[in-house]
Amino acid sequence: MSYNKYSEELPNRSKKRVLVKTPKNTKANLISARVTAIISKSIYVKTDDNQEYEAILRGVINSTNRESSLIAVGDYVKIIPSDNHQKQSNLPLCTIEQIEKRTTSLSRKSSGYEPFEQIIASNITNVMILVATVNPDYNLKLIDRIVISAELNNLNPIICVNKIDLIDLEEIREDFRIYQDHGIDVHFISVYNKINLQALLDALNGKEVALIGQSGVGKSTLVNWLFASELQKTNEISSFNFKGKHTTSFVKMFDYNFDNKIEFKIVDSPGIKEFGIWGLEKSDLPFYFKEFEDYSISCKFQPCTHTHEPGCAVIQAVEDEKIRPIRYQSYLNILDSLE
Ligand SMILES: Nc1nc2c(ncn2[C@@H]2O[C@H](COP(=O)(O)OP(=O)(O)OP(=O)(O)O)[C@@H](O)[C@H]2O)c(=O)[nH]1
Ligand SMILES: [Mg+2]
Ligand SMILES: [Zn+2]
């Protein structure tokens, strides 16, 4: 099988396309489970009664996920347990016979010759974009891309700004105001100094959250703090370029439960370098820049791409500093990247 060709360590699309075929005589033995981790070539699933298995995909598998990653963390699957155990981990083995249709997914455009929808996590409710104040510096354009991708996929974005112990918060607040204006929760935290973590926990209660962000922002540090244990390896950032070292190389879902009072699922994922939006029509892009709306109704040409048209009220608003130039640049940058 070649389903494990990796691009930035996330599951790639199967080269061997999926035959939709229901396996014979086995339906009665099928057990429901959920994919909890994909680590290198191994897939891990957990059943409703918390039995873990290491899974292999059947050669012929029932799946509706034809245009995207064949299997992703968060997928609901049907498995058949086998009597064998994995030699090293001693986990029982199973085969995945069927992959259920995804209700939601956080995805991006794969980088590569033949782009496809690369699923980071599926069947979740929220996307938490973790950034750092510095080391590495946050990238507003990257945040915009992930926010749009979340909204496009009916997922609620949450922005979390970590490492506030390293700067004067008042100097950066303004950069995040636009997201708050658009109703997005923004948390300013320090995992190191335990600042604003309780409010974050409260906000996560009842949700299933994919954690995404550049390398070195503290995704795994946050996961380790949540579970008061070194579940995930972390690494100091490079003293040479202040970037992360891409420490986490796999996707894994964790269950958080504090006294049954706060309960959520969180998915740690590898640090991203870039984020291509999958499935967005060029003509829909302006609607994701909600602050454009007040002006775009006054554009001379309708519809207006707000790029070159004479009498464009959005361009005028940028010139008048009513729209932040960085947001407009972000718009142009994304527009340019869409087919
Ligand atoms: N100053 C400061 N450093 C932090 C904080 N949280 C995490 N770090 C440090 O940031 C570095 C990177 O943290 P990781 O948790 O490995 O980052 P990551 O996002 O998981 O990175 P990848 O796995 O490479 O994507 C580590 O040295 C952490 O100790 C914080 O609140 N303040
Ligand atoms: Mg990590
Ligand atoms: Zn316009």
In the chain, the domains with their CATH numbers are 6-103 (2.40.50.140), 124-268 (3.40.50.300), 282-337 (1.10.40.50)
Give pLDDT, residue 27: 63
Six-digit token string for 315? 């361009």
**What share of the chain has pLDDT > 90, as a percent?**
74
Closest CA to 66 of 7, 27, 140, 117: 117
Cis previous bond, 303, omega within 30: yes
Residue 94, H or E segment: strand 92-99
Distance 211 CA to ligand 2 centre (A): 10
- Higher pLDDT pick, 261 / 57: 261
| Reported pTM | 0.90
Q: How far apart are CA 336 and CA 330, in angstroms?
A: 10
Q: How far apart are CA 100 and CA 62, in angstroms?
A: 8
**Contact between 210 and 185 (Cβ < 8 Å):** no
Res. 13: pLDDT tops 80: no
Q: How many alpha carbons fall within 13 Å on the CB side of residue 214?
A: 24
Q: How far apart are CA 208 and CA 323, in angstroms?
A: 33
Summary mean pLDDT of the chain: 90
Strand-pair partners of 44? 37, 54
Distance 235 CA to ligand 2 centre (A): 8
- What φ, ψ does residue 226 adopt, rounded to 5°? -55, -40
Mutate to test the pocket of ligand 1, among 128, 193, 221 (most ligand atoms within 8 A of CB): 221
Chain Cα centroid distance, residue 48: 24
Q: How far apart are CA 151 and CA 322, in angstroms?
A: 24
Confidence tier at 164 by pLDDT (50, 70, 90): very high
Confirm or reject: Cβ of 216 under 6 Å from ligand 1.
yes
Residue with CA at minimum distance from ligand 1 atom 27? 236
Residue with CA at minimum distance from ligand 1 atom 7? 218
Cis previous bond, 270, omega within 30: no
Q: How far apart are CA 155 and CA 115, in angstroms?
A: 22
Strand-pair partners of 157? 127
